[in-house]
Structure 1
């Protein structure tokens, strides 16, 4: 089992830099995990975590960093359903898409309700001989895409591959989930539970967390378990609480 960071992410606004509103396009760090299927040593597995760049950029970066084409990816795993984790997910149409069951449930109900309300508004407008305005039409398209993506995402099993286990990190969202990689060192792909190296150094969680106290607990668990951490918006870092290895 091994892993490689494909693309280093960025926060749209980093509060630790004094930024209070977006100054850049946010995108998640994307990581490739290579292992074998559970119980099948001869069956390779390529898991792409959080393909946050736009499709063409994601394909280019994957090729630059690994030489792989999109059809070589067997699984896509989302740490959350945030749009910045999944911009390029449709590029990997041959892969199995996975997300934590808790995240899928938490996102799915309000998403379906929002789509239902807007679809009803559209039907009422059409009955009156009118159409949705541009903003409503754009939102309808976004909601339809999001629902289609979520429907395609399957609940992730506890173990994705040999040496690759899901690791719940609730707080940023109720279903935020990382991947724990077991090798010579223990590595945790954190998602936004640990946003950047600076958040790690300062012991900070994102202010946008759904549950701040739960996010702090997950942050502490991440530090406790891993030798290496892959933050949601930064490159891999050594756990500062661990001795050099």
Structure 2
């Protein structure tokens, strides 16, 4: 996070980026939230996975927030996925922004919004089951259609959370990300994540064993 409110930070004190996760299942390589710019993300991916960008078959966005997709253009041969609710809400917001930009005759803003609309148009609505062992897990609240991926194997369930649970401090204090679109829905998503997952991949932090499950 650029500024962590639960550390008492105000304003931007560092460069912000989200957690990027690689899931390999059923012969597919699914990259979740390619947050870093391509010139940063690709060398890191090569270092940690030895996979070139063309090896990624799918990109899944937990939300359409710009920070979660700065590197998405590097994976132009992959299928891009998002929830239908998030796509529709983002589309409505972008159309409104485009109308405002056109009324103001702001050409730079028009180009920016049109480029965002082109990215969104490339995204497909994710089905309930992305591949065998990887299920869509709706986590509405932070944004209208935010969602994670639930990765199941014989012994455990791992949930890629996105901003539904952004950091270890949010998890420990039971607090949802702010600002959020619907506080009550975000709180419900937070609680449900703790009920279903053995392992949590936090949206702006690392991977952690679910402390609720660990105590059971």
Give your verdict on TM over 0.5: yes
* Structure 2 runs not aligned, ≥5 long: none
Partner of 1:26: 16
Partner of 1:194: 165
1:154 is the counterpart of 2:100: no
Give structure 1 stretches of 5+ with no counterpart.
1-10, 37-43, 123-135
Q: Which residue of 2 aligns with 1:118?
A: 101
- Encode CA deviations 1:47-105: one digit per residue, 9 max, x unaligned: 00000001111111111110000000000000000001000001000000000000000
- CA distance in structure 2 between the partners assigned to 1:31 and 1:209 by the alignment: 23
Equivalent of 1:215, from 180, 186, 190? 186
Deviation at residue 227 of structure 1 after TM alignment:
0.4
User: How far is the alpha carbon of 1:24 from its aligned partner?
Assistant: 1.9
TM-score by length of 1: 0.84
Q: Say which SS state the counterpart of residue 242 (structure 1) adopts.
A: helix
Structure 1 SS opposite 2:45: helix
Show the counterpart of 2:142: 172
Matches within 5 A, 1:1-245: 11-36=1-26, 44-122=27-105, 136-183=106-153, 184-243=155-214
Structure number with greater Rg is 1
Worse-matched range after superposition: 107-116 or 137-146: 137-146
Report the secondary structure of 2:186's partner residue.
Answer: helix
Q: How many Å separate the matches in 1 of 2:110 and 2:14?
A: 25
- Matched position secondary structure for 1:195: coil
Counterparts of 1:229 and 1:78, CA distance in 2: 17
Distance 1:171 1:165 in 2: 19
Query: TM-score, structure 2 length as denominator?
Result: 0.95
RMSD: 1.4
